[in-house]
Amino acid sequence: MPDVPTRPKSLRDLFLTLTALALQGFGGVLAVVQHELVVRKRWLTQEEFIEEWAVAQVLPGPNVVNLCLIVGSRYFGWRGALVALAGMLCVPTLVVLVLAVLYARYGAHPVAVGALRGMAAVAAGLILAAGLRLASALKGNPLGTLLCIALGAVSFAGVALFRLPLIVILLGPGVAGCLLAYWKLGKAGR
Amino acid sequence: MSAITLDLGWSDWLALFGHYLALSLMAVGAAFSTLPEMHRYLVDRQQWLTDTQFTNSITLAQAAPGPNVLFVALMGWNVGMNAGSYGSALLGAFLTMTGMLLPSSVLVFFAARWGQRNRERRVVRAFKLGLGPVVIALLIATGWIMARAQGGSVEAWPLWLLTAVTTLIVWRTRIHLLWLLGAGALLGALGWV
């Protein structure tokens, strides 16, 4: 890819970027984070995004908030972590509180209900697209194509079809993937 | 027109804050995994929220922009509204959000720093690479579950079409996502989907 990776210019840039993307995230912010930070701003490569996100997902706390904290601390240390948290949460919290007041009045209006329905359909598409795009970054994964597909299929079925709790997926295919990767990395002499 | 009227003292606010501090480290993967515990505490035991207020907090946070964890702020807000004023509502939102995020953020910060320093170690690399396919599958599964929530009936086909077209556009282009969300809102408001 001819794309040159970049980094946030300043703490201000970090704050404004994260606020802007948090405000675009309807029904979850992860798809927007992936689109903005990887595709548009290129602060992270696809591979780096997947790696940091795996960490964010496994540790306690909301995964998107964790991910932004990790990105912030990577460029600006603890100040970056604080600014990332603030960017992700300050303005969106105010917005949601204002919406709570408005919702108490107008929530049942058919135009509002319809608009929310349309946005939910788009939000589902955003998340699916982010998943498809990231899947192409697995090409260089030491697990190999077949194992990646197998682990992915089991995880998808567990969550989407059988509605298993997340912890089961992380302890099952998650742990299996880590052990297999450890073994493969050893075989490759890395 | 809240269904409950509360008189909360400082020990109650402290208990609310402490409860979320404790929940923070239990929320592995997503804040939603602690919902049953929040319900038990806020609705059943303390009776600070009604069932409807509890559910509405989640729905509204999902519909609003921002991370899903904002439902925690709305729960604190509603507890405060039940206590009678916008001031106490703000205090409630502040306490629940800070409690929910403080312990986990501190842990994530130090864990990420350790991982960054030891990123060449085989254990760290295996951990991050091995989870790759699993977390991507989780993302696709989330999209799938959201799409399915709009209904499997034949009448829901415009919504499915909208989801499919969005997927294709976002996957293949670098378009600004607000255009798509705006289009979705417009189509919905006009009643076309």
Task: State whether A104 and A40 are in the same domain.
Answer: yes
Q: Domain range for residue B174?
A: 131-189
Same domain, A185 and A94: no
- Judgement on whether residues A102 and A161 belong to the same structural domain of the protein: no
Residues B19 and B102 in one domain: yes
Residues in chain A with pLDDT < 50?
Answer: 1-2
| CB-CB contact of A30 with A52 (8 Å) | no
Q: Is residue B33 part of a domain?
A: yes
In a domain, B121, yes or no: no
The minimal CB distance from A54 to the residues B116, B128, B165 is found for: B128
Contact A125 B189 (CB under 8 A): no
Domain boundary among the residues B90, B115, B140 is at B115
For residue B153, what are the contacts with CB-CB under 8 A and spacing of at least 6? Answer: none
Structurally, chain B folds into a number of domains equal to 2
CA distance A33 to B125: 23
Q: What are A28's two structure tokens? A: 């979850």
- The verdict on B14 and B46 lying in the same domain is yes
Is B43 inside any structural domain? yes
- Of chain B, the end-to-end C-alpha distance in Å amounts to 33
State the Cα–Cα distance between residues A133 and A127, nearest whole angstrom. Answer: 10
Q: Pick from A126, A167, A184 the residue to mutate for testing the B interface (most B CBs within 10 Å).
A: A126
Same domain, A36 and A65: yes
Interface of A with B in 139-178 (CB under 8 A): 141-143, 147-149, 151-156, 159-160, 165-167, 169-170, 173-174, 176-178
Q: What pLDDT, on a 0 to 100 scale, did the predictor assign at position B54? A: 87
- Do A3 and A87 reside in the same domain of the chain? yes
Q: Let me know whether B38 and B103 are in one domain.
A: yes
Domain end point (choices A97, A123, A138): A138
Query: Per residue in A68-105, pLDDT tens?
Result: 999 999 999 999 999 999 999 999 999 999 988 887 77
- pLDDT at residue B153 in the model: 67
Q: Which among A73, A100, A166 has the least Cβ separation from residue B113?
A: A73
Query: Among residues B115, B139, B169, which one ends one of the domains?
Result: B115
Q: Report CB contact under 8 Å: A119, B105.
A: no
Does any CB of chain A come closer than 8 Å to the CB of residue B24? yes
**Domain limits for position A188:** 141-190
Interface test with chain A among B35, B105, B136, B159, by most A beta carbons within 10 Å: B136
For residues A18 and A40, membership in a common domain is answered with yes
- Predicted TM-score (pTM) of this structure: 0.81
Mean pLDDT of each 10-residue bin along chain B, 193 residues long: 77 95 79 78 92 82 85 94 92 96 95 89 90 88 80 78 92 84 90 84
Do A171 and A134 fall into the same domain? no
Q: How confident is the model at residue B1, as a pLDDT?
A: 43
Residues A184 and A92 in one domain: no
Count A/B contacts: CB-CB distance under 8 Å.
376
Residues A107 and A82 in one domain: yes
Both A111 and A32 in one domain: the answer is yes
Give the pLDDT score at A170.
85
- Count up the domains in chain A and report the number: 2
Q: Which residues of A touch B177 (CB under 8 A)?
A: 24, 31-32, 35, 126
* A110 shares its domain with A173: no
Tokens for A84, please give them. Answer: 């990332």
| CB within 8 Å: B138 and A166 | yes
Give the chain B residue whose CA is nearest to the CA of A172.
B134
Q: What is the CA radius of gyration of chain A?
A: 19
Let me know whether A166 and A117 are in one domain.
Answer: no
Tell me, yes or no, whether B90 and B181 share the same domain: no
Interface contact B175, partner A, CB < 8 A: no
